[in-house]
Amino acid sequence: MPVSEDDVKQRLQSLEPSHLKVVDQSDGCGAKFLIEVVSEQFNAKTTLASHRIIYEKLADVMDTIHAMFAVHFGQVFQKWRSNSGGNSKENEETEETEEIDDGIDIATRKAFNSAAVYLPNVIGTLDRTDTLQFYGLYKQACCGPPDESQRPSWYDVQSRAKFESWLMNKNLTREEAMHAYCEKLRYHAPDWNPATCSGVHGWGNKPSRMADIESDYENVPHVQETRVETPVEREWFMAMQNDDVDKMRRLLAKDSALLEATDQHLGMTALLSAVDRGCEKVIDFLIMNGANVNATDSYGSTPLHFAAQCHRVRAAELLLGAGAAKNVQDADGKVPAECCDDAFLSQLLRP
């Protein structure tokens, strides 16, 4: 019996997601699903580790799924105010007093809190620049100006980019930053209405050292150091997702650099994504045209790592036949064979 959207949703409920969307994209060539999920269980996890969590939840139906594209965000919600219990009226009075004490208008704070809760609904549509701008405004709104002595080292590109985005807002008051954050969200999400979107849960508002910023950046996916996709690159990755080799061939004939182009959200080449999704026709096409079989995403995972985790035996054979290295370690220090619980494939990938 074919697996359905509801079957997938039911199995992913154990992740206790704050957001879950499953779209059946089956096209007659096997079951295909697009999955968007926000869960605490992805916090501080690499792309591959997050994939493992999803595959474990769907283990009993994975044999019937031809391809799957999962977007997963970590999210550690905190109460905007204490949720330790007690009289609700008393809590309301405490909240109001605290808001008056810091001089920020109650309505502004509530709108900002609502915006922070709503952001995950649109975060997947934002490019890197907008994501960083939301981050900088959020930090300024919650913490005020950054301590410039805490600026990350030049070689920590990711943390430094986030710090600089925060620093750009240093002349705004916290209330002005909240207003700017809300206006920016209103531009990207015209349907957002702070009056109807409750902000009971929001991001924590405690000040942070730069070492803690990654965990504070809770509702925003891990920011990849990749440039925004060009229109042609966007077509390229869309064709890959649709198994449209003919279109990929036409695009590649005009621009050979597409082979090593990376997507703006996950920093993955078309080959990495194709192995992840199980698009064997695309994998074969890309390898035949000279794609780098040892390309890595920002966590050091190669196509073989994804083949191992996703139990893609045929993909692994194609990659090995093209000279893919078995001994590359990912960010967790694991080679592909160590990412696989299938005895045959693990043996095939053993260095």
- My answer on whether 35 and 124 are in the same domain is no
- My answer on whether 195 and 108 are in the same domain is yes
- My answer on whether 26 and 150 are in the same domain is no
Higher pLDDT, 79 or 210: 79
Q: For 212-218, what is the mean pLDDT?
A: 34
CA distances from 84 to 63, 78, 109, 169, 270 (A): 45, 12, 21, 33, 48
- My answer on whether 122 and 239 are in the same domain is no
Question: Does 223 fall in a domain?
Answer: no
- My answer on whether 101 and 203 are in the same domain is yes
List, in sequence order, every residue forming a beta bridge with 79; answer none if it has no partner.
Answer: 201
- The answer, yes or no, to whether residue 316 has pLDDT greater than 90, is yes
Q: What's the CATH number where 104 sits?
A: 1.20.80.10
Domain stop point among 74, 97, 117: 74
Higher pLDDT, 164 or 225: 164
Question: Does 222 fall in a domain?
Answer: no
Domain stop point among 168, 183, 216: 216
**Sequence-separated (6 or more) residues with CB below 8 Å from residue 61:** 3, 7, 8, 11
- Report residue 70's pLDDT band, with 50, 70 and 90 as the boundaries: low
Residue 319's pLDDT is: 96
- Report residue 106's pLDDT band, with 50, 70 and 90 as the boundaries: confident
Q: For 284-304, what is the mean pLDDT?
A: 91
Question: Does 305 fall in a domain?
Answer: yes
Residue 67's pLDDT is: 56
Higher pLDDT, 264 or 333: 333
**Range of weakest confidence among 52-56, 77-81, 250-254, 325-329:** 77-81
- My answer on whether 283 and 202 are in the same domain is no
- Report residue 241's pLDDT band, with 50, 70 and 90 as the boundaries: confident
Q: For 193-198, what is the mean pLDDT?
A: 71
Residue 172's pLDDT is: 92
- My answer on whether 65 and 93 are in the same domain is no
Higher pLDDT, 76 or 166: 166
Residue 77's pLDDT is: 37
Question: Does 40 fall in a domain?
Answer: yes
- My answer on whether 89 and 204 are in the same domain is yes
- My answer on whether 168 and 124 are in the same domain is yes
Residue 206's pLDDT is: 28
- My answer on whether 193 and 236 are in the same domain is no
- The answer, yes or no, to whether residue 197 has pLDDT greater than 70, is no
Q: What's the CATH number where 243 sits?
A: 1.25.40.20
Residue 28's pLDDT is: 57
User: Judging by DSSP bridges, how do beta strands 31-39 and 65-74 pair with one another?
Assistant: parallel
Number of domains in the chain: 3
Question: Does 24 fall in a domain?
Answer: yes
Domain stop point among 27, 49, 74: 74
pLDDT digits (tens, 9 = 90+) for 180-190: 999 999 998 89
User: Judging by DSSP bridges, how do beta strands 78-79 and 201-202 pair with one another?
Assistant: antiparallel
Question: Does 224 fall in a domain?
Answer: no
- The answer, yes or no, to whether residue 75 has pLDDT greater than 70, is no
Full domain range(s) for residue 327: 231-349
Question: Does 226 fall in a domain?
Answer: no
- My answer on whether 85 and 99 are in the same domain is yes
Which regions of 40-192 does DSSP assign to beta strands (E)? 65-74, 78-79
Question: Does 221 fall in a domain?
Answer: no
Q: Distance between CA 151 and CA 170 in Å, rounded?
A: 13
- The answer, yes or no, to whether residue 281 has pLDDT greater than 60, is yes
- My answer on whether 163 and 194 are in the same domain is yes
Q: For 301-318, what is the mean pLDDT?
A: 90
**Sequence-separated (6 or more) residues with CB below 8 Å from residue 212:** none
Q: What's the CATH number where 67 sits?
A: 3.30.300.90
- The answer, yes or no, to whether residue 257 has pLDDT greater than 90, is yes
Higher pLDDT, 69 or 212: 69
Residue 119's pLDDT is: 81
